[in-house]
Amino acid sequence: MDTPFPEPVEVRHEKAARRLVVTWDDSHVSTYPLDYLRSWCPCAMCQGHSAVSRYLDLAGNELQSLDGIGNYALGLTWQDGHSTGIYSFRLLRGLCPCEDCGGEKR
């Protein structure tokens, strides 16, 4: 039997600290710097149609808003108007930059 994938129980945009903090239902807390999240934008415009995701190394992007997408993802809208990246919970958990999860992926 498969173990259910963790789901977020709280998502906080800490504007002054320029980060998104996600608390998961397994009590893990993921803290994502905004530039890190923007640099991993999963949309086709940023990633192309390659099977391998690439880190874009973008800086200075402010998060304007975030919205739930169904019960599986977050939609992030950036200050420059970019809003086509859908960050699934599975993707977000895989990108967790904490030391326990292997640190930042680049």
Q: Which residues pair with 86 in a beta bridge?
A: 75
The encoded tokens of residue 99 equal: 């030391």
In this structure, CATH architecture of domain 8-98: 2-Layer Sandwich (3.30)
User: What are 19-77's pLDDT values in tens digits?
Assistant: 999 999 999 999 999 999 999 999 999 999 888 999 999 999 999 999 999 999 999 99
Residue 2 has pLDDT above 70, yes or no: no
The secondary structure of 61-82 as a DSSP string is: PPEEEEEEETTTEEEEEETTS-
Confidence of residue 3 (pLDDT cuts 50, 70, 90): low
Predicted confidence band of residue 4 (pLDDT cuts 50, 70, 90): confident
| Half-sphere exposure at residue 55, Cβ-oriented, CA atoms within 13 angstroms | 9
